[in-house]
Structure 1
Amino acid sequence: MGGWLRRHIAARSNGLQRLVVRDKHHVARDVYAFELVHPRGRRLPAWTAGAHIDVHTAPGLVRQYSLCGDPRDRSRYQIAVHRCTPSRGGSDAMHDAVHAGDRITIGMPRNRFALAPDSPHTVLLAGGIGLTPLLAMAETLSASGASFELHYCTRSPLHAAFSERLHERRFCGRVLFHFSNTVGRAAFDSLLAAPQRGAHLYICGAAGFTDAALAAAERQGWPAAHVHTERFSAPPGPQADSAQAAFDVVIASTGRVVPVAAGQSALAALHGAGVAIPTSCGQGLCGTCVTGVLEGEPDHRDHCLTDEARAVSFTPCCSRARGPQLVLDL
Structure 2
Amino acid sequence: MTTTTIVREFEADLVVTDSHVVADDVVALTLATPDGSALPPWTPGAHVDLVLGDDLVRQYSLCSSPGDRSAWRLGILRTPDSRGGSKAVHSDLHNGATVRVRGPRNHFPLVAAGRYLFIAGGIGITPMLPMIAEADAAGADWHLLYGGRTRASMAFVDELAPYGDRITLVPQDESGMLDLDATLREPREGTLVYACGPTGLLDAVEQRCATWPSGSLHLERFTAKEAAVQSAGNTEFEVMLQRSGLTLTVPSDKSVFEVCKAAGVSVVGSCLEGVCGTCETEVVDGDVDHRDSILNDEEREANEYMMICVSRCRSARLTLDL
Call closer, same or farther: CA 1:271–1:74 in 2, change over 3 Å.
Answer: closer
Residue 197 of structure 1, aligned match among 167, 189, 193: 189
Residue 184 of structure 1, aligned match among 169, 172, 176: 176
Equivalence for 2:216 = 226
Equivalence for 2:40 = 45
Equivalence for 1:15 = 10
Give 1:146's aligned amino acid: A
Matched, 1:32 2:27: yes
Q: Whole-Å Cα distance in 2 between the matches of residues 103 and 234 of structure 1? A: 29
Equivalence for 2:251 = 261
Residue 151 of structure 2, aligned match among 157, 180, 189: 157
Report how far residue 227 of structure 1 moved.
1.4
Matched, 1:206 2:201: no
Equivalence for 2:81 = 86
Q: What are the residue-to-residue correspondences of 1:1-330 with 2, within 5 Å?
A: 10=7, 13-117=8-112, 119-167=113-161, 169=162, 171-218=163-210, 221-237=211-227, 243-252=233-242, 256-305=246-295, 307=298, 311-330=303-322
Call closer, same or farther: CA 1:71–1:300 in 2, change over 3 Å.
Answer: same
TM-score by length of 1: 0.85
Superposition RMSD in Å: 2.9
Task: Write out per-residue CA displacement over residues 247-287 of structure 1, whole angstroms, 9 at most, x where no aligned residue.
Answer: 34344456655443333322223334443411011121222
Identity %: 37
Call closer, same or farther: CA 1:162–1:46 in 2, change over 3 Å.
Answer: same
Q: Whole-Å Cα distance in 1 between the matches of residues 146 and 80 of structure 2? A: 21
Q: Whole-Å Cα distance in 1 between the matches of residues 71 and 218 of structure 2? A: 27
- Any conservation in 1 of the 2:277–2:294 contact (CA below 8 Å)? yes
Q: Whole-Å Cα distance in 2 between the matches of residues 172 and 277 of structure 1? A: 46
Report how far residue 83 of structure 1 moved.
2.2
SS of corresponding position for 1:62: strand
Task: Write out per-residue CA displacement over residues 136-164 of structure 1, whole angstroms, 9 at most, x where no aligned residue.
Answer: 11222333443211111111112101122
Q: Whole-Å Cα distance in 2 between the matches of residues 253 and 239 of structure 1? A: 28
Higher deviation after alignment, 60-69 or 124-133: 60-69
- Any conservation in 1 of the 2:14–2:34 contact (CA below 8 Å)? yes
Report the number of matched residues. 319
Task: Write out per-residue CA displacement over residues 71-128 of structure 1, whole angstroms, 9 at most, x where no aligned residue.
Answer: 23333211111223433432222222222112223234232222222x2221110011
TM-score by length of 2: 0.87
Q: Which runs of 5+ in 2 are unaligned?
A: none
Q: Whole-Å Cα distance in 1 between the matches of residues 138 and 220 of structure 2? A: 23
Give 1:143's aligned amino acid: A
Call closer, same or farther: CA 1:86–1:275 in 2, change over 3 Å.
Answer: farther
- Any conservation in 1 of the 2:288–2:313 contact (CA below 8 Å)? yes
Q: Whole-Å Cα distance in 2 between the matches of residues 194 and 297 of structure 1? A: 36
Q: Whole-Å Cα distance in 2 between the matches of residues 228 and 107 of structure 1? A: 24
SS of corresponding position for 2:86: helix
SS of corresponding position for 2:203: helix
Higher deviation after alignment, 318-327 or 120-129: 318-327
- Any conservation in 2 of the 1:189–1:217 contact (CA below 8 Å)? no
